[in-house]
Every structure is written in C-alpha cells, then in structure tokens.
Amino acid sequence: CSLVNITFDTIKSDCSYGNLQVVSDLVKRCCGDAQLTLSADNDITVDSAIRASSGRLAVTVKADNDGNGTGSTVVNKALDLNSGELTLKGTAKLTKASAVRRANIVIDSAEVNVAGALSDIDLITDNRGSALRLSRDYAGFKGCIENSGLLTVNRLLQILS
C-alpha cells in the first residue's frame, strides 16, 4: 500500500465558528503508514479515540490556523499511533481522560499542558521553545511519562503536582 493522507479542515466564516470535533473513533487497521491532519481556524476537540493497529499513523493537529490566538486543541481520549508521530500546533491540552501511547511527539506550539498519561514515547521534540507542562488535574491522578527515549525541551518543562 502507498501512504494515505487524510485532512479535515474547517474555516471560520459568517455562519461557522471554524471548530472541528472528533466524535467517532478513527481507527487505521491495515496497510502501510498514513497521515491524518486535523486543522481548524478555531478549536479542535478530540472526544473519541484515534488509533492504529497496523502501520504507523502520523497525526498533525493544527488549531488556530487563522492566527488570531483564540483557537486551541483539547484531547479527551486516547491516541495510539503505533510508533507514528503526533504533531501539536497551537495551544494544546491533553486532559486527564486522554492518553498518548506508542508515538513520537512534536510540539510546535506556544504551550502544551499534559494531564493524561504518556507511555511508550520514543521522542518528545520541542520545535519552538514551547512550554510543556505535566500535571494532575484531580486528587489521586498522577500524570506520568513512561519513557526510555529522549526528551528535548528548549524553553520550559514544568512538572506540577
């Protein structure tokens, strides 16, 4: 199979806010590698799982495409990319309900807040000197990184408890 590229894009207009919401699971089940791009002028909300069971899945999430500072990404469900790459552009929050597994993470945004678990992460790269904050949102939850790979942060890594 050849590389498959899928892009979902929203644009702000007089009758649209330019938001994108994932409400059903997206599952890559066969063939080689694939690329999924979620792009919105305003907010992106991931309320359903995105995962790959065969081949790598690269996911790029680009909120606030119009650059006015009002858009952000919120991930509320699991992302399992089978060693693919997760690229976050625009302010992003991985909530306590989220989990990122089997992925390389590229931060190309102003700020990323992680309250969910990160596991089997080979590499976290910060391209813009972004702030990466690891925290717990409620008593009893411990956001964690289980990793034997490389973590590179050029500006700020903050672990909150």
- Residue labelled with tokens 């993470």: 105
- Determine the pLDDT at residue 21: 92
- Determine the pLDDT at residue 44: 94
Average pLDDT value for residue range 63-82: 90
Q: What is the pLDDT of residues 1-37, one digit of tens each?
A: 556 677 778 877 766 788 999 999 999 988 889 999 9
Instruction: State the greatest distance between any 2 C-alpha atoms of the chain, in Å, as a whole number.
Output: 48
- Determine the pLDDT at residue 129: 66
| Confidence check: pLDDT of 82 > 90 | yes
Give the pTM: 0.82
CA–CA distance, 120 with 52 (Å, rounded to integer): 14
Share the mean pLDDT of the chain: 80
Confidence of residue 139 (pLDDT cuts 50, 70, 90): very low
CA–CA distance, 134 with 139 (Å, rounded to integer): 15
- Determine the pLDDT at residue 60: 93
CA–CA distance, 24 with 161 (Å, rounded to integer): 32
- Determine the pLDDT at residue 65: 86
Q: What is the pLDDT of residues 39-52, one digit of tens each?
A: 999 999 999 999 99
| Confidence check: pLDDT of 136 > 90 | no
